[in-house]
């Protein structure tokens, strides 16, 4: 495999995380993905994926997209506070 850019790789990684939490039951899916990304991704990775989400989030699986949206909203809210 060669992901053409870090950007593509982050989308791939996020979906990979999504696939694991998908099997953990509906209620845990979005929260699980969000928690995992928050716990392990560095700020520049988050920034890149948020920007991708803002631009429509192409390629992100629906639950993963939801999770990243939630994380982004929380980060924005935290910044405002």
Partner 1 sequence: MSLIHETDYGTPLSKSEKMVTLTIDGQSITVPEGTSIMRAAMEAGTQIPKLCATDMVDAFGSCRLCLVEVEGRAGTPASCTTPVAAGLVVHTQTERLKKLRKGVMELYISDHPLDCLTCAANGDCELQDMAGAVGLRDVRYGNQGENHVFADACGEANPAWLPKDESNPYFTYDPSKCIVCSRCVRACEEVQGTFALTISGRGFDSRVSPGMSESFLGSECVSCGACVQACPTATLTEKSVIEIGQPEHSAVTTCAYCGVGCTFKAEMRGEEIVRMVPYKDGKANRGHSCVKGRFAYGYATHKERILKPMIRETIDQPWREVSYDEAFTFAAQKMRGIQAKYGRDSIGGITSSRCTNEETYLVQKLVRAGFGNNNVDTCARVCHSPTGYGLATTFGTSAGTQDFDSVEDSDVIMVIGANPTDAHPVFGSRMKKRLRQGAKLIVVDPRKIDLVKSAHIKADYHLPLLPGTNVAILTALAHVIVTEGLVNETFVRERCDWSEFQDWAEFVALEKNSPEAIASISGVDPEAIRGAARLYAKGGNGAIYYGLGVTEHSQGSTTVIAIANLAMATGNIGRRGVGVNPLRGQNNVQGSCDMGSFPHELPGYRHISGDAVRDQFEAMWNVKLNPEPGLRIPNMFDSAIDGTFKGLYVQGEDILQSDPNTSHVVQALSSMECVIVQDLFLNETANYAHVFLPGSTFLEKDGTFTNAERRIQRVRKVMTPRNGLADWEVTIGLAKAMGFEMTYNHPSEIMDEIAALTPTFTGVSYQKLEEMGSVQWPCNEKYPEGSPIMHVDGFVRGKGKFVVTEYVATDERTGPRFPLLLTTGRILSQYNVGAQTRRTDNVVWHGEDVLEIHPHDAEQRGIRDGDWVRLTSRAGETTLHALISERVAPGVVYTTFHHPLTQANVITTDYSDWATNCPEYKVTAVQVSQSNGPSDWQKAYDEQARNSRRIAPIVEAAE
Minimum gap (Å) between residue 56 Cβ and partner 1: 21
Contact in structure between 3 and 48 (CB atoms under 8 Å): no
Number of residues that bind partner 1 (CB under 8 A): 23
8-47 mask for partner 1 (x: CB under 8 A)?
Answer: -x---x--xx-xx-xxxx----------x--xxxxxxx--
CA distance 65 to 42: 18
Residues that bind partner 1 (CB under 8 A): 1-3, 5-6, 9, 13, 16-17, 19-20, 22-25, 36, 39-45
């Amino acid at each position: 495999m060669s992901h053409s850019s870090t950007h593509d790789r982050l989308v791939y990684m996020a979906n990979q995380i999504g696939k694991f939490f998908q099997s953990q039951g509906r209620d845990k899916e979005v929260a699980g993905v969000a928690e995992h990304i928050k716990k392990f991704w560095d700020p520049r990775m988050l920034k890149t994926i948020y920007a991708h989400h803002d631009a429509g989030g192409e390629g992100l699986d629906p639950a993963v997209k939801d999770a990243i949206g939630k994380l982004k909203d929380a980060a924005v809210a935290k910044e405002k506070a």
